[in-house]
Structure 1
Amino acid sequence: MDELAKLTALCRSLGASTEAQADTMARQLQKRADQLAAERGLTRVAAMEHLLNLVIHGRRGETPPGFAPPRSE
């Protein structure tokens, strides 16, 4: 199973309503991981790990470590 298939399955298990939606989400994760790796000098693996951490915490309704909640004005 390749990376896209694994990410698609993960997105589906996290609540994507259709296979097409899960595929789109997986492709967006891949694209953003490439962007983060280039922008921040991270390895692609580290960039993907960061994104998956955000996705998992967000799905649980948690604030990921290192992120502060928005300030109320």
Structure 2
Amino acid sequence: MLIELRLLRIPPYNPELNPCEQVWQYIKNRFKNQRFESMGELKKWLHTTVVSMSSQTIKSITSNHHYKNAFIETFQK
């Protein structure tokens, strides 16, 4: 079986195109206006937040029409 791999170029300094940045923004939005008594409580909250994120949630956060358009354009050539 032959598998073809094509890389899609992501322009530099575009956090809206970086899936990791999108997930981090999602977490930061839940972090706002919260107070923690200790670093341990913050770590526990962060761990609970990350572990509770379903794959469907991550897909919805990281889905981006730019990726879809670039993928379609690449394979129509």
Determine which structure has more spread, i.e. the larger CA radius of gyration.
2
**TM-score, scaled to structure 2:** 0.34
**TM-score, scaled to structure 1:** 0.35
- Relative CO higher for 1 or 2, CA cutoff 8 Å, sep ≥ 6? 2
